A and B are shown apart, each in its own frame.
Chain A
Amino acid sequence: MAGMVEKRGLGLWLTHLGLILGVAVIAFPIWLAFIASTVSQPEIVRPPMPLLPGDRFLENYRDALYSGVNVPVARMLFNSFVMAMGIALGKIAISLLSAFAIVYFRFPGRLVFFWLIFLTLMLPVEVRIVPTYEVAARFGMLNSYPGLIFPLIASATATFLFRQFFLTVPDELAEAARVDGARPMRFFVDILLPMSRTNIAALFVILFIYGWNQYLWPLLITTEPEMNTIVMGIKQMFPAGDDVADWPVIMATSILAMLPPVLVVMFMQKLFVRGLVESEK
């Protein structure tokens, strides 16, 4: 019976053809960006540009990484890395602690804290742009790593994820820890953290991509090119007015900007899928 509804023969080939077409259409913009990053400026400004790689791969990427347009792209990559790591690890750390407190303790105001964290879901940065900027400015956080990281590290989603997970941990473990006279933090570090390993890893993959791909917040808070992140810095590489953009360098930068998160998705696909499904629940 197996295979009754699966396709064979011509149908099978058409199915493959449809999928390959889909992959090709979806990959085309990236292919084109890659080509543009390997050819010279004159080849691009006299359309149509070639559809196969040129011979200026090394020059263009070296130009981008070491000189860039406003600031070397290597610097922007570093900024992005610090921001993405800070956001991912920060969110995970404070969410683990919050979830532990909410699940394993009974104390006055527990529900108030719970709702306080929950309500942040309704306050994405996009709806509180100007006042959040003012608060960050008041703390002297403009053009700084803390300014890029802290306003984004509260996380209702991560807190709930860990809360859900902690609730499935057998009570006997906490019971045993208490009987042994273990302090709560000992239980947290020795038992809960190791058990949460896979959840932490899956969440890290999602949050790293989230942090790396931030656009609006870095755009507001970094006015010095030295503090730009790569994702928001690409737009700053376009000249004002009618000047022609330095397309090979800009497209090399675009490729560099997408490389880290794409590699993370490709090489940690299992964790990525798991993290995506879990964090949307």
Chain B
Amino acid sequence: MEKRVTFRGWLLPVLLLAPQVAVTLVFFFWPAGQAVWQSLFIPDPFGLSAQFVGLGNFEFLLKDPYYRASFVTTAIFSSLVTLISMVPALWLAVLADRLIKGSGTYRSLLIWPYAVAPAVAGVLWLFMFNTRVGVIAWYLGLLGYDWNHVLNGTEAMGLVVVASSWGRISYNFLFFLAGLQAIPRSVIEAAAIDGARFWKRFWTIVFPLLSPTTFFLLVVNVVYAFFETFGVIHTITGGGPQQATTTLVYKVFADGFVGQDLGSSAAQSVILLVVVGILTVIQFRWIERRVHY
């Protein structure tokens, strides 16, 4: 879409674009270029010189069992976060949608955890499951279950998944409720007159009509799990135990800043760039489809 009426001149628009373009070039494209460049080298331990290794860093990474493991970790983590943040949200949205009055009140009561930073959510959940003082860990102990996410990788994964999903339920609830309320009542009432019970109506009418919302949420939640959960992992587990919760993004940070392995960290950045590229294309493909709806 284009404007029919425009102003003349080229200097003014270029000046208007300058701040955005400057920030973009300096803090986005230059670093991204640096990442690509650095991924082709291995710097010496003192950072004085670097040896060109071509695709050596990538070759090494793809053979590295720890890097492969972090791919698997990221896949498991993202699927679980997506599932656990969407299913309860859908359930709550379906309940709220059944009310004639009061769904607005529940919406107000349910949406504010969205505003809690992932890192703060991490601290809250860490506090509940802390092996020494955590209330839930203590009650689990009372039931005979010895909770210790510091040593047990599965428990650590469970904890970061739940802490990452928690605030996200609000977000998904909001979109599911909006999606449900957009479905024409008459369609559902017609099915009810035909004698379809609630669950039958849900699976044959409501859920299919909700699928654009569901698909949209699927994509944005995967993006969230990939890129915005660093704070949760950093506060709760620090990637451990034995890298059980080291996702791809966490590993770029751990290898680049803590381990000072710059060549490898840069190569990992480049691989992540490709992943983001694919996710962005999926997101835009879908938006195109929704526009034509």
A130 and B21: CB pair below 8 A? Answer: no
The residues in A between 197 and 247 inclusive whose CB is less than 8 angstroms from any CB of B are 209, 212-213, 215-216, 219-220, 231-232, 234-235, 244, 247
A26 and B227: CB pair below 8 A? Answer: no
Contacts of B19 in A (CB 8 A): 93-94, 97-98
Instruction: Digitize B91-112: 1 where CB-to-A-CB distance is under 8 Å, 0 elsewhere.
Output: 1100110111010001011111
User: How many contacting A-B pairs (Cβ < 8 A)?
Assistant: 300
Given the known inter-chain contacts A154-B23, A265-B115, A266-B108, please indicate yes or no for A178 contacting B7, CB distance below 8 A: yes
Distance in angstroms between the alpha carbons of A22 and B90 in the assembled complex: 12
Minimum Cβ distance to chain A for residue B249 (Å): 5
Check: A58 CB closer than 8 A to any chain B CB.
no
Distance in angstroms between the alpha carbons of A219 and B47 in the assembled complex: 23
Check: B58 CB closer than 8 A to any chain A CB.
no
- Residues of A contacting B: mostly: helix
B276 and A122: CB pair below 8 A? Answer: yes
Given the known inter-chain contacts A1-B189, A18-B95, A262-B112, please indicate yes or no for A26 contacting B32, CB distance below 8 A: no
Interface size bucket, A side? 35 or more
Distance in angstroms between the alpha carbons of A254 and B188 in the assembled complex: 44
Distance in angstroms between the alpha carbons of A273 and B265 in the assembled complex: 38
Check: B48 CB closer than 8 A to any chain A CB.
no
The residues in B between 14 and 39 inclusive whose CB is less than 8 angstroms from any CB of A are 14, 16-17, 19-21, 23-32, 34-35, 38
Check: B287 CB closer than 8 A to any chain A CB.
yes
Given the known inter-chain contacts A122-B273, A235-B234, please indicate yes or no for A48 contacting B139, CB distance below 8 A: yes
B174 and A276: CB pair below 8 A? Answer: yes
| Partner of B127 from A33, A109, A231, A258 at Cβ < 8 Å | A33
Distance in angstroms between the alpha carbons of A109 and B277 in the assembled complex: 23
Contacts of B166 in A (CB 8 A): 26, 29
Distance in angstroms between the alpha carbons of A45 and B265 in the assembled complex: 40
Minimum Cβ distance to chain A for residue B69 (Å): 19
Max count, chain B CB within 10 A of own CB: residue among A7, A235, A247: A235
Check: A64 CB closer than 8 A to any chain B CB.
no
Q: Which residue in chain A gives the minimum CB-CB distance to B30?
A: A135
B31 and A209: CB pair below 8 A? Answer: no
B92 and A19: CB pair below 8 A? Answer: yes
| Partner of A174 from B5, B21, B139 at Cβ < 8 Å | B5
B20 and A117: CB pair below 8 A? Answer: yes
A95 and B20: CB pair below 8 A? Answer: yes
Minimum Cβ distance to chain A for residue B5 (Å): 4
The residues in A between 173 and 196 inclusive whose CB is less than 8 angstroms from any CB of B are 174-175, 178, 184-185, 187
A5 and B110: CB pair below 8 A? Answer: no
Given the known inter-chain contacts A23-B106, A262-B115, please indicate yes or no for A135 contacting B5, CB distance below 8 A: no
Distance in angstroms between the alpha carbons of A61 and B270 in the assembled complex: 44
Minimum Cβ distance to chain A for residue B103 (Å): 9
A49 and B123: CB pair below 8 A? Answer: no
Minimum Cβ distance to chain A for residue B121 (Å): 8
Minimum Cβ distance to chain B for residue A258 (Å): 5
Contacts of A47 in B (CB 8 A): 132-135, 138
Minimum Cβ distance to chain A for residue B66 (Å): 18
Check: A10 CB closer than 8 A to any chain B CB.
no
Contacts of B8 in A (CB 8 A): 105
Q: List 26 A-B contacts (CB under 8 A).
A: A12-B99, A22-B110, A32-B127, A32-B135, A44-B133, A47-B135, A97-B19, A98-B21, A101-B12, A107-B13, A116-B24, A121-B280, A123-B28, A127-B249, A129-B252, A129-B269, A130-B256, A130-B265, A131-B34, A133-B257, A175-B5, A178-B7, A216-B253, A231-B117, A234-B123, A235-B123
What 7 pairs across the A-B complex have the smallest Cβ distances? A213-B117, A131-B31, A215-B231, A131-B34, A261-B115, A107-B10, A101-B13
Residues of B within 8 A of A (CB): 1, 3-10, 12-14, 16-17, 19-21, 23-32, 34-35, 38, 88, 91-92, 95-96, 98-100, 102, 106, 108-121, 123-125, 127-128, 132-135, 138-139, 166, 169-171, 174-175, 178, 185, 188-189, 192-193, 201, 216, 220, 227, 230-231, 234-235, 249, 252-253, 256-257, 262, 265-266, 269, 272-273, 276-277, 280, 287
* Sample of 6 further A-B pairs with CB below 8 A, known A23-B106, A104-B6: A2-B185, A26-B169, A45-B132, A94-B23, A184-B7, A215-B230
